Structure 1
Amino acid sequence: MIRAMPIRSMRLVPLLAIALLAACAKTPPPQPGAARPVQAVQALVERLRANDPAGFAIVAIPPALHARLETAWRTGRSRWPLDELPLDDRLPAMLATLSKPDARTTLQRDFDRQFANSGDELRSTATSLGVFAVQYIHNEGDYSPAERDHYGQAVAALSRWAARAPLSDATRARRAIALLSTAAAETGIATPADFANHGMDASLERLGPFLAATKQVFGSYGLDLDAAFDSVDATLVQQTGDTARVRVRYLLGGEQIDTLLDVRRIDGRWYLEDYLRNAEASLDGPAAAAPALPGAASTPATAASP
C-alpha cells in the first residue's frame, strides 16, 4: 500500500523543482573585459579555472579585436591566445602525435627507452632548463617588463617543481599518456590547417577538454594548477584615467608568485595591457610574433602556425 505524501513534504516539491532548474540553468556567457581593473584579472582566472579557453579569449580582448582575430585564424596569420603558451608552435604536432591510434604504445615505449629510471638526469635537466629559460625571459624576446617579471618567477617555480616531481615514474607516465591521447583525439585537431578551418572560437572550444586533461596530468605529478588559480589574490595598486596597475599574488608549485600587471580601459571595459599588445601584434602574422627560445624549430607562415 502506497502512503499518501505528507502535506509538509508536498510543500517541498516546488522548492526542489526550482532548485533543480537553477542547477541545470546555464551559467551566463563570459563578457569582454571587466567593469573594474581587478576584475579584469579575476575574470581571466575564472575562465582558466573552468577549462574555457574560448571564454578566456572573449574576456581578454575587446569585441572588435576578437572579430579581427577570428578572421586572422582562418587565414593562418594568428593563433593568439595560444601564442601565450610555451612552445605554442609545437601544439598541432603534439596533438597529432597524441591522436595516433598507436600513440599509447609508441609513446610509452619511447618513455621507457629514454626516461624510465632516469630520475636524477631528469631533475638535473629540469633545473638547467629552468635557469636557461629564466635568463632568456629576462634578457631576450619581445616581453614587456611585466611579462619578464611574471614569467621569470613562474618559470623558476615550475623548474623547482619539476626538479622534485616523479617524472621518471613509468606508471604515472602510462596514465598520463592514456589521458592525453584520448583528449587529443577528441579535439579533432591534428594540423595547423585544422585550426584555420575551425577558426579561433571553435578551435579553442575543442581545446577545453584537452586543457582539463593536461591539468589532471600535472596534478598527478604534484602540480595542482586549479589550486594555483584558486589562490589568486588581485588588488588595485593605482589607477590614473584609463590605465591601472594590479598586484597579483598566487601560489604555484607551493611557491609565492608576486607580480604587477598593467590594465587598460577601452570603451568602458578593462583588459590586461600585455594581452592587448600581443593579440594586436599577432595580426601581422607569425613573423611578427615574439621569437621562440633558441633551438626551437620555426615554421613558415604558410603553415599557419604562430
Structure 2
Amino acid sequence: MPIAPTLRRALPVLAPLLLLASLLAACKREPEELAGATSEPAATVRELVEHLRRDDLAGFARAAVPPADHAALETAWREGRSRWPLTELPLSQQWVPMLAALSRPGSEQALMRDFNRQFARQDKDLRDAARSLGLFGVQYLKKEGDYSPTQRLHYTQVVQTLSEWAQEAPLADPALARNTINRMAAAARKAGLASEQDLREAGMDGSLRRLAPVFTETKASFARYGLALDTTLADLRTGLVEQKGDHATVRIHYPLGNREIDSQVSLERRDGRWYLSDYLRAAERARTSMPPAGEPPAEAAPASPAPSTAAP
C-alpha cells in the first residue's frame, strides 16, 4: 500500500494525538530557573524549603538562625517566652488548643458529630463562606496589620488562591472529613503535645521533632482536598533580586492551587552564612522579651490570618 495516501487518511486521527503528546511534553518540562538562582542567598531559601518538604521541622529551625540565636530561642521556648517557628504559621495561638482537641479520648466521634451538625453536605454555604472570607482577608491585608508592602502582596495572593481552592474543594464531604479527623487525631496523639506545659518540657527542638507527624498529616490532609502542598514545596524556585554587602533580596516563585505566587524576602549575612531577616528579628525578640506574669509569650502574636481562611 502506498505510504503517502495512508498517511493522509491517518492524519485526522493522528493530529489530535500528536497535539496531545506535545502538550503533555510541554507540561513535563522543568520550569526555567530564576535569575540568580545559583547565588548563596537564593540557595539558602531553597535549603530551608527542603527541610519543610522532608517534614524536618527541627532541621528547619537549626538552619534558619545562627547557632547562638537557636540556643536563645530554645531557652525562650522552655521559659514560655517564644513559640518560634510555630508563630510563622497562621493563627499560631490556635495550634495548642487544636492539638488538645484532637488528642482527647473519643475526639474522633465528638469532632465528627460537630462536622455533621454544622458542615456535612452544606456545599453551597461553605462555598459562599470561602468566597466571603477571601474577600474579607484581602481587604484586611490591604488596610490592617503590621505588614511590609512585599508581605501584603504575598499574603494577598495566598488568600485569593486559598479562597478559590476552597470554593471547589469537597469540604462538606463526610467521608473525607471522617478520614481526615481520624488521621489527624492519631498524629496529634503521637506528638503528645496537648498543652503549653508539654511544649515547655519538650523544648523547641524536641517539640518540633514530635510535631513532624502532625505536619506530615496536615500536608496529606490538604492533598486529599485537592491542594498539593508537597508539589508547592518541590516546585518552589528562587532567584537573586539584589545583593548589597551583607544584605540581599531573594525572589520566591511557587505554584499554589491554580495560581503562581510571586514574592520577595530579605536576607542578612552573619558569620559567612545567610539568614532571613524576619527570623533574625524573631530571635532578637526572644532574647529581649520578658512579659509580666499572666501575659502571653512575646512570640505568640497571631501571624497572618490569610493562609488558614479556608482550611478544611
- Please give the range of the TM-score, normalised by the shorter of the 2 chains: 0.7 to 0.9
TM-score normalised per structure 2: 0.80
Secondary structure in 2 matching 1:263: strand
Question: Please, which of 262, 265, 268 is the counterpart of residue 266 of structure 2?
Answer: 262
What residue is the counterpart of 1:49 in the other structure?
Answer: 53
Query: Given that residues 250 and 265 in structure 2 are in contact (C-alpha distance below 8 angstroms), is that contact kept between their aligned partners in structure 1?
Result: yes
**What is the alpha-carbon distance in structure 2 between the residues aligned to residue 197 and residue 287 of structure 1?**
16
**What is the alpha-carbon distance in structure 2 between the residues aligned to residue 68 and residue 174 of structure 1?**
41
For structure 1, which segment, 265-274 or 136-145, has the greater mean C-alpha deviation from structure 2 after superposition?
Answer: 136-145
What residue is the counterpart of 2:10 in the other structure?
Answer: none
Give 1:216 shift: 0.5
What residue is the counterpart of 1:26 in the other structure?
Answer: none
* 1:113 equivalenced with 2:130 (yes/no): no
Unaligned runs of 5+ in 1: 1-33, 296-306
Question: Match of 1:50, as an amino acid?
Answer: R
What residue is the counterpart of 2:310 in the other structure?
Answer: none
Unaligned runs of 5+ in 2: 1-37, 306-312
**What is the alpha-carbon distance in structure 1 between the residues aligned to residue 301 and residue 282 of structure 2?**
12
Secondary structure in 1 matching 2:108: helix
RMSD: 2.0
Change (3 A) 1:287 1:54: closer
* 1:167 equivalenced with 2:167 (yes/no): no
Query: Given that residues 141 and 292 in structure 1 are in contact (C-alpha distance below 8 angstroms), is that contact kept between their aligned partners in structure 2?
Result: no
* 1:207 equivalenced with 2:229 (yes/no): no
Give 1:247 shift: 1.0
Percent identity over the alignment? 50
Question: Match of 2:72, as an amino acid?
Answer: R
Question: Match of 1:56, as an amino acid?
Answer: F
**What is the alpha-carbon distance in structure 1 between the residues aligned to residue 173 and residue 94 of structure 2?**
24
Report matched runs for 1:196-235 at 5 Å. 196-235=200-239
Question: Match of 1:78, as an amino acid?
Answer: S
Secondary structure in 2 matching 1:55: helix
* 1:248 equivalenced with 2:224 (yes/no): no
Question: Match of 1:103, as an amino acid?
Answer: S
What residue is the counterpart of 2:242 in the other structure?
Answer: 238
* 1:274 equivalenced with 2:278 (yes/no): yes
Report matched runs for 1:55-134 at 5 Å. 55-134=59-138
Query: Given that residues 243 and 263 in structure 1 are in contact (C-alpha distance below 8 angstroms), is that contact kept between their aligned partners in structure 2?
Result: yes
When the two structures are aligned, how many residues end up with a matched partner? 262
Query: Given that residues 155 and 304 in structure 2 are in contact (C-alpha distance below 8 angstroms), is that contact kept between their aligned partners in structure 1?
Result: no
**What is the alpha-carbon distance in structure 2 between the residues aligned to residue 165 and residue 182 of structure 1?**
23
**What is the alpha-carbon distance in structure 2 between the residues aligned to residue 153 and residue 103 of structure 1?**
34
Give 1:74 shift: 0.6
What residue is the counterpart of 1:304 in the other structure?
Answer: none
What residue is the counterpart of 1:150 in the other structure?
Answer: 154
Give 1:280 shift: 2.6
**What is the alpha-carbon distance in structure 2 between the residues aligned to residue 52 and residue 218 of structure 1?**
18
Question: Match of 2:135, as an amino acid?
Answer: V
Question: Please, which of 24, 36, 47 is the counterpart of residue 40 of structure 2?
Answer: 36
**What is the alpha-carbon distance in structure 1 between the residues aligned to residue 144 and residue 285 of structure 2?**
17
TM-score normalised per structure 1: 0.81
